Amino acid sequence: MKHLLSLNDWSTAEILDTLKLAEKLKTETKSGIEHTHHLKGKTLGLIFTKSSTRTRVSFEVGMTQLGGYPIFLNANDIQLGRGETVHDTAKTLSRYLDGIMIRTFKQSDVEDLAKYGDIPIINGLTDLVHPCQILADLLTIYEHKGELKGLKLAYVGDGNNVANSLLIGCAKVGIHISVATPKGFECDASILNIAKEAAKLTGSNILLTNDPAEAVTNADVIYTDTWISMGQESEKQTKVKVFTPYQVNSKLFSYAKEDAIFLHCLPAYRGYEVTQEIIDGPKSVVFDEAENRLHAQKAVMVKLMGN
């Protein structure tokens, strides 16, 4: 395990091992047991070319709890934002840092950082995937359901970065996944092929549909995300029209299992992709999910950067 560029890079065993470590680190943190030895003296650079609340804060806090130092690098403040190449940035930062977390637009930039640098690279979201989010989601599902394999997760909404990573993550751990998107907003075709290959090995079923009710029927987990991802602000008007039938509300929830839980990576837009009664209701575990970003990413950092 050298990098986390996409969950595709990781085997089922590596994913499950990381979740196990995340659980252990979470228990230790909750019981006040310090674990600063893991990354003592190590430094992680955090490059952001997009906004963030959860990713930035959970990586900074996580790094501190593990004994290391986070350095926040707003892309506008480093030469990358003025046209220095990813190649030269990777080569230079590799001389100072022990790892880099990057949130940016192009997946190829994250892959180039890994190719040209010689330190671990962690993908903190691109237009294509959001692997750290899905590790936290799997941890949350496991905590609430006591298992992963054989459960059914329904994702309703935009076939975006979060949906793409959910496809891979669910397929790799044997969760059945159904994805309901409007026509023209499906998940990435190459990611779907990767997920289908992984699903063959774990027995996960993948269903793609344009019908939200079909996707949600008998689901254990219902998941949605914003209809307007970062960088798509100008598409808001058109997207809202197309996506309105895909709102997660009480009626849609009634097709799921009685004890189904609701997940959302956040930030959420109440009244659009989800109603307030669902996201603020008893089935919602979105803040456990947000908390688990911290624990899951600490496990990722220990796996990639620990001694």
Q: How far apart are CA 258 and CA 274, in angstroms?
A: 18
CA neighbours within 13 Å on the CB side: how many for 302? Answer: 25
Does residue 204 belong to the site contacting ligand NVA (CB under 6 A)?
A: no
How near is the Cβ of 11 to ligand NVA at its closest, in Å?
25
User: According to the binding rule CB under 6 A, does residue 49 interact with ligand NVA?
Assistant: no
Helix 161-173, helix 189-202: angle, nearest 10:
20
Element (H, E) at 178: strand 176-180
Q: How far apart are CA 93 and CA 73, in angstroms?
A: 11
Among 266, 277, 303, 306, binds ligand CP (CB under 6 A): 266
- Using the contact rule CB under 6 A, the part of the chain among 40-48, 67-75, 77-85, 225-233 near ligand NVA is 225-233
Is residue 178 within 8 A of residue 59, CB to CB? The reply is no
Per annotation, catalytic residue among 65, 265, 295, 297: 265
Q: Cβ closer to ligand CP: 94 or 133? A: 133
Which of ligand CP, ligand NVA, none lies near 6, with the C-beta cut-off 5 to 8 A by kind?
Answer: none
**In the stretch 125-144, what mask flags binding to ligand CP with x, by CB under 6 A?**
x-------x-----------
Q: What are phi and psi of 37, to 5 degrees?
A: -70, -25
When binding is defined by CB under 6 A, the residue of 3, 26, 54, 239 that contacts ligand CP is: 54
Compute the distance between CA of residue 71 and CA of residue 97 in angstroms, rounded to an integer: 9
Residue choice 230, 240, 255, 288 for contact with ligand NVA (CB under 6 A):
230
φ, ψ for residue 40 (rounded to 5)?
-55, 125
C-alpha 80/C-alpha 69 separation (Å) is: 21
Residue 28 or 109: which CB sits closer to ligand CP? 109
Interaction of residue 181 with ligand NVA, rule CB under 6 A: no
Whether 132 is a known active-site residue: answer no
Please state the closest distance from residue 48 (CB atom) to ligand CP, in A: 9
Among this protein's residues, is 247 annotated catalytic? no
Q: Of residues 56, 130, 176, 295, which has the active-site annotation?
A: 130
Alpha-carbon separation of residue 293 from 43, 56, 218, 274 (angstroms): 19, 10, 27, 21
Name every residue whose Cβ is closer than 8 Å to that of residue 126 and which is 6 or more positions away in sequence. Answer: 103, 104, 105, 106, 107, 109, 110, 161
- Least distance CB 54 / ligand CP (angstroms): 4
Does residue number 160 form part of the binding site for ligand NVA (CB under 6 A)?
A: yes
List residues bridging with 207 in a β-sheet.
178
The answer to whether residue 232 forms part of the interface with ligand CP (CB under 6 A) is no
| Number of residues engaging ligand NVA in binding (CB under 6 A) | 9
Contacting residue, 80, 114, 256, 265, with ligand CP by CB under 6 A? 265
| Residue among 63, 64, 15, 52 at smallest CA distance from 172 | 15
CB of 5 to ligand CP, least distance (A): 16
Q: By the criterion CB under 6 A, which residues form the site for ligand CP?
A: 52-55, 125, 133, 265-266
Catalytic amino acids?
103, 130, 133, 225, 265, 293
List interacting residues with ligand NVA (CB under 6 A): 125, 160-162, 225-226, 229-230, 265
